[in-house]
Amino acid sequence: MKTVRTHGKSCLMRRVAPASGVGRPLWPGRWLALPTLPLLLSACMSTTVIDQHRVTSSAPVEIGDESVVVLGRRQGAGQETEIDFISCVGEQLGNSRNGLSVIPEKQFVDGMYPYFEASTAPSDVKNLDRLVQNPAVAEKLTEFRVRYFVWIDGFTERVDERGSMSCSIGPGGGGCFGFASWDDEANYEATIWDFESLELSAKVSARTTGTSYMPAVFVPIPLLARVQSNACRNMARQIAQQLTTAPG
């Protein structure tokens, strides 16, 4: 198993409009908040740990002749994998320099109806070999030219919150004061299934943690750690490597 650790300062600073009924914030408050921004921007960091394990010696994708489909878990007792995360991974793979042909999740699910609907889809990749024994399924997969199936399970959640903030309105205007921060954690695992050999090819897991901050001196300034997008980008990079590199 190979482990890759990446660090990134990737704060996203968003503008927060004053709430309805709040007067124009006092300008000195904005200048008071400015000296703290460099410190917070330098502290706003996410860390990603990637574990990848090649199970079998599957051949790389034949660029131009074979396709990859990326799907998320849509059933079970736990949280479902976010649709936007699946779309992100698919777009990253499709936009990579490797020239991968990626079938969008919705297009694949609609085209394979009803076999991959939430109520009928396989619960995990272990059941795929049984599903492809269905002639109708095999025919549709051939039409899509699917070589690899990437099944992603996981989600992003907020694990801790600190600080407080209060806002008030007065005759001369209004504003917010305080400081808040929170930790987000993204945990995802991608299982890569080879339809040619009908066996598990590789597994890639990504765990990203990051802390976001929101200082407020009259105006709240959210500094967001892009936890989910960093997990997506790093996971997609490693999946692409698994799909396009011949086993060593």
The pLDDT score that the predictor gives to residue 3 is: 64
The pLDDT score that the predictor gives to residue 37 is: 53
> Distance between CA atoms of 159 and 165, rounded to whole angstroms?
19
> Distance between CA atoms of 29 and 216, rounded to whole angstroms?
9
Token representation of residue 176: 């917010």
> Distance between CA atoms of 53 and 44, rounded to whole angstroms?
30
The pLDDT score that the predictor gives to residue 14 is: 56
| pLDDT by residue, tens only, the chain of 248 residues | 666 656 555 566 555 444 444 444 333 444 344 455 555 555 567 889 999 888 877 778 877 789 999 999 876 556 789 999 999 999 999 886 778 899 999 999 999 999 988 888 877 777 888 888 899 999 999 999 999 999 999 999 999 999 988 888 888 778 888 999 999 999 999 999 998 888 899 999 999 999 998 888 888 888 888 899 999 999 999 999 999 887 66
Prediction pTM value: 0.81
The pLDDT score that the predictor gives to residue 19 is: 44
